Structure 1
Amino acid sequence: MLKNYFLVACKVYMRRKLFTAINLLCIILTLVVLLTVAAMLQTMFYPTGVEGRSDHFLQVTTIAQTSKKSSTSSPLGYKVIEQYLRKMKTVDKVAAVSGGKTVSIYQSDRVTEVIMRRTDAEYWQILDFKVLAGRVPSEDDVKQGRFVAVLNESTAKKIFSDGKALGQKINAGGQQFEVIGIVEDVLHLNAFADIWVPVTTFPTSQYRDEYHGEFFALLLAKSPADLPLIKDEIQQIAKLVNADDPAHWEHTYLWADSKLDFVARNILDNREVADSGATQLLLGIASLMVAFMLLPALNLVNLNSGRIMERATEIGVRKAFGASGTELAGQFIMENILLCVFGGVLGIFFTKLTLIWLSSSGIVPYMKVDLSAVVFCYALVISVVFGLLSGVIPAWKMSRLDPVLALKGGA
């Protein structure tokens, strides 16, 4: 029976080429938008490559403190990381890294603006950068405060047109560094930068005594099962920080977040509650995607209803020869699902082309997004859902047609 449904569906599609083309265009455009957004969200929340171990680490990005009269919230000061987080018992490694800061690289003939981060050696051990040339800073480089730098590939080519960056000197932010390594371009929450230098190259040592500063910490667990333990220990550390802080705040808030929790907490501004709002954020995104999908589905319902009415005579003949409403409805739903699945395959193809264009266009620096098996499965599921949403109502209307009226071409 399924084979017959398939053969009939193919004949119907070829007989009504304009209807088929309009339906396919509607499905393809919707899927390209949905799948492109899904691929970008997956890259953001569950990345591969340099942050491929994100299921093994959490990030502490903000310290929030409140009293009856005032409150403050900022990135971590280095003292919080060095004095408290590095002593945690539930973590394997703790990395301190500053937020990206725009600095100028001065050369004889031009000035280049770049994003700089200051990091420790553990940062390079937690994140899996692809080193293209040279090396990354070692523990001894950081301990000795050596003025060494790592550039990403694009920045190295921009500054040194001959491509010979290793061993060269650069003046960045008024300080001179020696280039010791080149890494692959990346666009990720914790890894995005143009240049990295040791944290110990700050012009002064004042940063070591600050509770509020420009840092965040990466906490690497031995296994994902330890992440809840890390979150619990962070809450205990927040109490210690509050007790030791000479500013005498009433409450100190520190949260160890996953990438999804981090994004949700900042978007929803949940800085003083344990719940980051990740579930709320996901539900909001899912609701927007469903709403976006409903509009073309409703258009397809109208198109399918018109198509079914055009086939009223065919329906009347089949009913007169004993075909049940259920069998006819099943055929029409199957036709619609097959069309949507075919549109889904084309949608995946055009989404792939869209992602290749986005990755190579430079609209978003260093962005590399690709289709994954998960997103591919999303496409198939969305295609089937499309077929059901846009086919059930017309099929139900068709199954209720009176065979006599149908034979006369009426509804």
Structure 2
Amino acid sequence: MRVLLSTVGSRGEVQPVVALAVQLMELGQEAVVCAPPDFREWAESLGVVYVPVGPELRATAKRPRDTALTSDQQRQMIEGTVADQFTTVRAAAEGCDVIVGGGALAIAAHSVAEEQGIPYVYAAFAPITLPSRHHAPPVFGSLGEEPKDSPVDNRTLWAQDAQRWNALWSAPLNAQRGAAGLTPVSDVSRHLFTETPWLAADRTLAPWPEPSELDVFQTGAWTLRDHRPLSTEVREFLDAGDPPIYFGFGSMHAPADIARTAIAGARSLGRRTILARGWSELSLDEVAPDCLLIDEVNQQALFRQVAAVVHHGGAGTTTAAAAAGVPQVIVPRTFDQFYFARRVDELGVGLAHGAGDPTAASLTAALDRVLDPQVAQAAHALAGRVRTDGALIAARRLTEG
């Protein structure tokens, strides 16, 4: 079997599909990943056949927060990405037996599968991104601003969300479908999600709410087993004192002055700091023995050796911290990150930071709470319930039909 895994997004979207690709290959199947060019070198180092689509996305993390596209710029960008995806995904799908669309921005995947007469599977990475009467749709909004509660019921909110999808994507999607001889779709989001989506999220950390209008198959999170050793620099820093606090915001635009804020918050509690550069390319103002600036790292190995993890609330980082049994402080920035922040709070394994950018005082207060032994015990207990075989379950489902 040859499987095409199509996604558009940052590492939070790409790493899970690469994990599934690796798992498929371990089962003796062929896999092709079609995703942004930022991750090509890394994926190919794992032996994954990788087809880049669209522009590099890394620069978006350094874009000023108040930068907004005009309506014409947005329309041109959407038309361009839809056309590019149809061309690239169509070529990548040659000889494939099934297409998996990972995340909602893989716009062309379902249509290309339909065009080529092969099955299509949609996979979401957080429950809140799929329509349900139990929750409202996620919103992008401004970074660091929590979505406001709405008096409108969830079904109405999802209907409004569907209208937004149609307004943005219907014309370019149906133009490409028409050129391919396919009939137009009237509901873009339902066309992408289907009635039988998969949910690549852990059942304990992020369960699908029932009863449901959709027939959701929850596989568990698609986790890539990371065997990389920690660098000598990181190991020596860990060995030089008590477990530090890890701060990292991945591919997100990091909060203003977060490096200074992080160090001040940790120091106020007598803790050392490990700061991940991330796509925002964070830096330190000082060289000090209680601070370490790092690049890409094996989170699965590192998180087990820190006192707490402060991060943006992406699905992958939240799951990695939960699996490591370490307390978390989530500073959500947008989209599904508010959901994961709430879940960590509800499970008692961490804290959701309040709206807006953190201050040294707010981080100190948050860290003081999650460093409580009871939170650490709860985090350790949760780790034993987090599954790591989601990619295997998904791979077997694909191969066994």
TM-score under structure 2 normalisation?
Answer: 0.23
Structure with a larger share of its residues in strand: 1
TM-score, normalised via structure 1 length: 0.22
Who wins on radius of gyration, i.e. which is larger?
1
Q: Which has the higher helix share?
A: 1
